[in-house]
């Protein structure tokens, strides 16, 4: 029987910040200060990537690139990406403390994993400076993984590169990639996990893929909830997820299934 030794979670949208709202607000505000109004779909498409890479990816989108050229009279440059990133970083640093609360089932999941002797790692698209705010705020509310690794810790090569996961495995002393699971709420999370050779799991409720706040999600009619859940599940499987769970209350059952195989 296979023994799972570690679960490596994402942060915003997976363990904290239902709907991954803080980064979305910061990106919209940053682009807005430069006269560009991105759609929610444009903002969420690169979610999970390092924040500079996220903005760079958005700048390459045809509509945004065209709007930038229309506003400024010339195509965007890397210096422009730097400027938008700087504004987004300032915006997110201001609001992060308000978006560090654990999602439903997180603290119970931590107790379950600790009880089974399973280590808790984490990767993120946040910088180390941002995590200096998020990690202690989350810990004060009951969520504290054994390890967190940021893109800064791996030379800026965050998701979908596998290096943050490898650093987790090293620090946690995991015996092999087969003994760990990656759980995340974005396409980039799934690709990161698969690139590292891990079983990769998408989480539906509160995810960036679904893109709803807790209030918006709970207000949906049941039929619409089911449709949104189905769409998110299909998105995860299309990008290579091994499993998809509705929320973290389903994680123990999944671990039991994996260990029996």
Nearest alpha-carbon partner for 186 in 201, 198, 197: 201
3 is catalytic: no
Give the span between the Cα atoms of 212 and 61, in whole angstroms: 23
Q: Which of 10, 17, 189, 242 is catalytic?
A: 10
Nearest alpha-carbon partner for 236 in 213, 205, 259, 196: 205
10 is catalytic: yes
Give the span between the Cα atoms of 184 and 162, in whole angstroms: 14
Give SS3 for 163: helix
CB 179 within 8 A of CB 6: yes
Q: Is 246 left (phi over 0), alpha (psi -120 to 50) or beta?
A: alpha
Q: Which of 17, 51, 185, 191 is catalytic?
A: 51
Q: Is 160 left (phi over 0), alpha (psi -120 to 50) or beta?
A: alpha
* Residues that are catalytic: 10, 51
């Amino acid at each position: 029987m296979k023994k799972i030794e570690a679960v490596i979670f994402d942060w915003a949208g997976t363990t904290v910040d239902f709907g991954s709202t803080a980064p979305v607000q910061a990106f919209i505000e940053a682009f807005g200060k430069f006269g560009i109004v991105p759609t929610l779909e444009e903002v969420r498409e690169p979610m999970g990537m390092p924040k500079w890479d996220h903005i760079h990816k958005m700048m390459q989108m045809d509509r945004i690139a065209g709007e930038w050229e229309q506003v400024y009279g010339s195509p965007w440059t890397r210096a422009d990406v730097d400027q938008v990133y700087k504004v987004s970083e300032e915006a997110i640093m201001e609001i992060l403390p308000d978006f560090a609360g654990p999602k439903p089932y997180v603290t119970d999941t931590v107790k379950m994993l600790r009880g089974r002797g399973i280590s808790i790692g984490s990767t993120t698209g946040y910088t180390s400076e941002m995590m200096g705010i998020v990690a202690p705020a989350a810990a004060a509310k009951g969520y504290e993984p054994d390890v967190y690794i940021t893109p800064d810790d791996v030379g800026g090569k965050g998701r979908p590169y596998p290096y943050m996961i490898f650093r987790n495995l090293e620090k946690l002393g995991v015996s092999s990639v087969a003994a760990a699971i990656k759980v995340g709420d974005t396409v980039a999370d799934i690709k990161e996990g698969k690139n590292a050779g891990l079983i990769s799991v998408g989480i539906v409720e509160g995810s960036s893929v679904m893109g709803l706040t807790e209030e918006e999600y709970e207000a949906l009619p049941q039929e619409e909830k089911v449709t949104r859940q189905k769409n998110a599940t299909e998105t995860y499987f299309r990008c290579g997820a091994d499993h998809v769970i509705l929320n973290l209350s389903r994680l123990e059952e999944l671990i039991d299934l994996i260990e029996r195989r």
